[in-house]
């Protein structure tokens, strides 16, 4: 379980993630190598949920190169180039969407300073509020952001309200 939030600004974005990792039995794992936000080329990728798809996308995926034309419509770029490449990477690394239908995972992906949220079917969305959240603690952190909390304060709210979120927090910024 996890809390990851993203904030979209006019010309940049910020992603903040907690550091607690748990398995199905509730066992807690924490290690500096197990980061929830990773950089892959021009992308920042934050993953929550099942470990296998998160690890594969965050460490094995070779993202497509962003061209000047792609920058004109990043949503289109994500739909026609990024999503198919992520799906292919997951399949090549043993993830079967048909067999793993109960697995739940989600990603926040930043490219060129824009945030996108991907669900476990690799559906992609953007949000007019500028606030994004994935993981079990996200509703708490998003509520805090909505009433004016700063990002770290929002993460602290999630930490206080769920056992599946804990500091230290990882922050990653990306400009357009």
22-40 pLDDT tens trace: 777 778 887 778 889 999 9
**Cα angle at 126 between 122 and 127, to 5 degrees?**
135
Q: How many domains does the chain have?
A: 1
| Residue 35: per-residue pLDDT | 87
Q: Is the pLDDT of residue 160 over 70?
A: yes
129/150 Cα distance (integer angstroms):
15
164/162 Cα distance (integer angstroms):
5
| Residue 96: per-residue pLDDT | 85
Tally Cβ neighbours within 10 Å of residue 154. Answer: 27
Q: How confident is the model over 64-94, as pLDDT tens digits?
A: 999 999 999 999 999 999 999 999 999 999 9
Structural domain boundaries enclosing 57: 4-175
Whichever domain contains 56, its CATH number is 3.60.20.10
Question: What pTM does this model have?
Answer: 0.93
């Amino acid at each position: 379980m996890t809390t990851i939030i993203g904030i979209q600004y006019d010309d940049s974005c910020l992603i903040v993630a907690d550091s607690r990792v748990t398995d199905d039995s509730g066992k807690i794992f924490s290690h500096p190598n197990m980061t929830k936000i990773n950089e892959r080329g021009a992308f920042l990728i934050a993953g929550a949920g099942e470990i296998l798809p998160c690890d594969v996308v965050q460490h094995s995926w070779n993202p497509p190169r962003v061209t000047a034309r792609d920058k004109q419509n990043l949503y289109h770029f994500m739909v026609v180039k990024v999503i198919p490449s992520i799906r292919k990477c997951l399949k090549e690394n043993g993830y079967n969407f048909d067999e793993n239908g109960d697995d739940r995972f989600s990603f926040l992906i930043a490219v060129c300073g824009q945030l996108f949220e991907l669900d476990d079917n690799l559906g992609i969305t953007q949000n007019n509020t500028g606030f994004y959240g994935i993981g079990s603690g996200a509703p708490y952190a998003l509520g805090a952001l909505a009433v004016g909390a700063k990002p770290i304060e929002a993460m602290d709210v999630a930490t206080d309200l769920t056992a599946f979120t804990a500091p230290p927090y990882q922050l990653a910024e990306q400009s357009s």
